[in-house]
Chain A
Amino acid sequence: MTLADTEIAPPEPPRYVMFWRRYKRNRAALLGLVLFALVVLMALSAGIIDPGDPLRRAGEPLTPPFVNWETPLGTDQLGRDVLSGVFYGARISLLIGVVATLVAIVIGVVIGALAGYFGGWVDDVLMRITEAFQTIPNFVLLLTLVAIMGSKIEWITVAIGIVSWTAPARMVRAEFMSLRHREFVDAARNLGVSNTSIIFREILPNAMPPIVVYASVIMALSILMESALAFLALGDPNYASWGNMIGQGRAVLRSAPYCAVIPGIAIILTVLSFSLLGEGLNDALNPRQKK
């Protein structure tokens, strides 16, 4: 028996293995992963399922589902194929979700990191700005931004990002405020590392896990916001998006409910998958110290 401290434990499995072990403990998160994979698969295979323009007239208008195998999920008021709309819509929804989230996270990280790291008047000014943004109801701000620039999908996506950055900014700030006093930050400063490097190379990677988890929330909210815009007839009609499909489908909700219900279910499942994914990420990235 030895007390020698220098003996090194056998190496741990690689990080992704550990990650996966923790992730799969949460069964609901596994469901989320399956759903998410399904949505991604739909987005990827949209061009294979239906190589044409999803907005073209594909059959008799308002054909119910399971009647014509050319259009298995039926057609909408203008004879557009619901199935291909759902598949192409997955692309748009994922695109909106991912890009809007990136925009929100990037803005949030920069503002939150600066405020949390430097503190003092920088923090005061940035937090006042954040509060200002938080005070304006974000959907009202979104409507205003869309009113300014019109309903182009690119702009809608960016605008959703712009109205979503405050929460990640606050989270990043809180993380930075707690991390900046951690000894490893002192250690880096003590080595003469510059502020920029400390912020982005030392602290940020450690501040990311909760942000990554929250990103799933923003993704979910982005898709819901796009659909709410479409409900108010402010979506971009040049693309098949689930929001647009519901927005138009609700006109025939009573006579041809599938037009709105099918994309509605697609949204629910996608948003659900993001949320469950977030729960799983939370378990995997922020393991609670169990004794």
Chain B
Amino acid sequence: MTKTPPPVLELCNVQISLPKGADRPYALEGLDLTIEAGEIVCLVGESGSGKSLCAGAIMGLLPEPHVRVTGGAIRFMGEELRGKTDAEMRKLRGADISMIFQEPMTALNPQKTVGWQIDEVLRLHTKMSKAERKVRAIEMLERVHIPDPASAYNAHPHQISGGQRQRVMIAMSLVLSPKLIIADEPTTALDVTTQLQILKLIRELQEEEGAGVLFITHDFGVVAEIADKVAVLCRGELVESGTTDAVLNHPQHPYTRALIGAVPALTPPPIKAASDAPVVLKGTGLKKTFAARGGLLSGKRKAVTAVKDLTFELRQGETLGVVGESGSGKTTVSRIVTRLLECDQGSVELDGTDLLAATPRELRALRQHIQMVFQDPMASLNPRKRVVDLIAQGPIVHGADPAKAREDAKRLLELVELSPAAANRFPHEFSGGQRQRIGIARALAMEPKVIVADEPVSALDVSVQAQVLKLLADLRDRLNLSLLFVTHDLRVAAQLCDRIIVMQKGEIVEHGLTAEVFANPQHPYTQNLLSSIPGRDWTPPSLQTDAA
């Protein structure tokens, strides 16, 4: 009856059940999705939306029997995949359906060479000879633009860069020209410049092969960059789908609207008049080198410079952004100015007192004036302590009456918009954003002059991210805080920072008012950085959302 060729992938009313005791009975419910050949379909959702399980269901790689497909149809090239035996599925996997994972470091076997791992796909699915396979693998490495494919063939994953590893992953999944490629957050772990290259590569190869791509992501910037069609998942339910333009620019469903509304626009805040407020934090000539461990047998240690000759000023009530990619030294900066890391050279003056020259006793006293909000909301809260104790700890250490400190802690919870009723819970009972609020409350409990925030929202979902950023901005304005804000995300920096410092390889390449830098980047690196922001040409529509 069908005249047109069947779609590459057709999901009809797919239902995936979760084990008892999970937060909901079904991971996915009634999912319908179609991918035609040559089409990139983005499946968008926040963590826990069930988007990765969808990939698992197609591949037949769900952690059965706890999680399994309990309803609907999964048709690949018109053929029902449910009910296929394991052996039949194995034939499809890697050959006709392939997958690209998020974390290229862990997704590749650290003990095998790149070549071996690509070779394995060929060995499993073809009868090619060893020599043929090698030719094929090197050819594929060339296609993903890896420099010197022959030597990369013999390299171990740890010997090549993160971007190249993802290229290897892509080479591996495309080596047999699959009809369907499932890419599960393939660029999330990459720096922004690399991300763009990989996105372009996926696009390019997909067009050459004419394969269908199921692209799973949480990032609307990426969606804007790559998708033909978009499907939005919320807690296992498909809330909206359509063409990229329709969904991104005219979202209908409140959830989609909220999500898109939460994406920070790339327009920097209006230029404040050059502040003449007093300088609260001043770093001068900071330098830090690490002794990197050498090989096991050589034992030689190479010195790696993380920060060289860094100087900056932070004024009262101002937010200074420190922006850079991984390895730029931006995190080291946050550790140096709080003296969590001993610096080799330079000084950090906090209200005129050199923090780096302080004796341990003086340092303890000084610490209450400079507090930190950490990146990982799980790791930065001691999992064995109740929330109230976490927040009250600082004041108690600095001599506050414990009972009063705990009372204050509850008030601070309110300040960060959490219910004081939860004061006696443990951190793991909170969501990521809530934990980050607790982290902020903890910093605020000390009534500090300066807060150093190290990537405080990078681990959060986009909607949560917006709320936390908003909270930070509110508090900053209300309490007249000075903020040193370290981030890799230029959108976030644009939204919050008055001035930014752009760092590359431990050095400041550019600094200035955020708006000026964004509008008119001087340094090539900054230019490259800005032009790599995914979805930079898309301006999220200004939407009224019912979220905070």
User: Is A in direct contact with B (CB under 8 Å) within the complex?
Assistant: yes
Chain A interface residues toward B at CB < 8 A: 1-6, 8-9, 11-12, 15, 182-184, 186-194, 197, 202, 205-206, 290-291
Q: Is the CB of B368 within 8 A of A192?
A: yes
Q: Which of A1, A6, A9 contacts B254 (CB 8 A)?
A: A1
Stretch at the interface among B219-227, B415-423, B497-505: B415-423
- Distance of A268 from chain B, by nearest CB (Å): 35
Interfacial chain B residues near A188, Cβ < 8 Å: 382, 393
Q: Which of B258, B372, B437 contacts A6 (CB 8 A)?
A: B437
Chain B interface residues toward A at CB < 8 A: 63, 234, 254-255, 258-259, 262, 335, 338, 340, 363-365, 367-368, 371-372, 374-376, 379-384, 393-394, 397-398, 417-419, 421-422, 425-426, 428-431, 433-434, 437, 439, 442, 446, 463-464, 467-468, 545-548
Q: Is the CB of B340 within 8 A of A186?
A: yes
Q: Is the CB of A11 within 8 A of B383?
A: no
Interfacial chain A residues near B376, Cβ < 8 Å: 183
B340 to A, closest residue via Cβ: A186
Interfacial chain A residues near B382, Cβ < 8 Å: 184, 187-188, 202, 205-206
- Distance of A247 from chain B, by nearest CB (Å): 44
Q: Is the CB of B383 within 8 A of A9?
A: no
Interfacial chain B residues near A4, Cβ < 8 Å: 467, 547-548
**What are 18 inter-chain pairs, A to B, with CB distance below 8 A?**
A2-B546, A3-B258, A3-B463, A5-B434, A6-B417, A8-B429, A8-B430, A12-B429, A186-B380, A187-B372, A187-B382, A188-B393, A190-B371, A191-B442, A192-B368, A194-B397, A206-B383, A290-B63
Interfacial chain A residues near B418, Cβ < 8 Å: 6, 8
- Distance of A225 from chain B, by nearest CB (Å): 33
Interfacial chain A residues near B375, Cβ < 8 Å: 183
Q: Is the CB of B429 within 8 A of A6?
A: no
In the assembly, what is the distance between CA of A209 and CA of B547, in Å? 40
Interfacial chain A residues near B380, Cβ < 8 Å: 182-184, 186-187
Interface centre among B340, B442, B468 (most CB of A within 10 A): B340
Interfacial chain A residues near B262, Cβ < 8 Å: 3
A185 to B, closest residue via Cβ: B382
Given the interface contacts A184-B382, A291-B63, does A5 sit within 8 Å of B372 by beta carbon? Answer: no
Interfacial chain B residues near A191, Cβ < 8 Å: 367-368, 371, 393-394, 397-398, 442, 446
Q: Is the CB of B374 within 8 A of A192?
A: no
Interfacial chain B residues near A205, Cβ < 8 Å: 382, 384
Q: Is the CB of B367 within 8 A of A190?
A: yes
- Distance of B528 from chain A, by nearest CB (Å): 30
- Distance of B68 from chain A, by nearest CB (Å): 14
Query: What 14 new A-B contacts, CB under 8 Å, besides A6-B548, A12-B425, A186-B372?
Result: A2-B546, A3-B258, A3-B545, A6-B434, A6-B467, A11-B429, A183-B380, A184-B380, A186-B374, A187-B381, A191-B367, A191-B397, A191-B442, A290-B63
Interface centre among B372, B398, B437 (most CB of A within 10 A): B372
Q: Which of A1, A11, A183 contacts B425 (CB 8 A)?
A: A11
A6 to B, closest residue via Cβ: B417
- Distance of A124 from chain B, by nearest CB (Å): 14
In the assembly, what is the distance between CA of A11 and CA of B375, in Å? 25
- Distance of A285 from chain B, by nearest CB (Å): 12
Q: Is the CB of B234 within 8 A of A1?
A: yes
B258 to A, closest residue via Cβ: A3
- Distance of B355 from chain A, by nearest CB (Å): 12
Interface centre among A8, A11, A15, A206 (most CB of B within 10 A): A8
**Which 8 A-B pairs have CB atoms at the shortest separation, nearest pair first?**
A183-B380, A191-B394, A5-B433, A3-B547, A192-B364, A183-B374, A192-B367, A205-B384
Interfacial chain B residues near A206, Cβ < 8 Å: 382-384
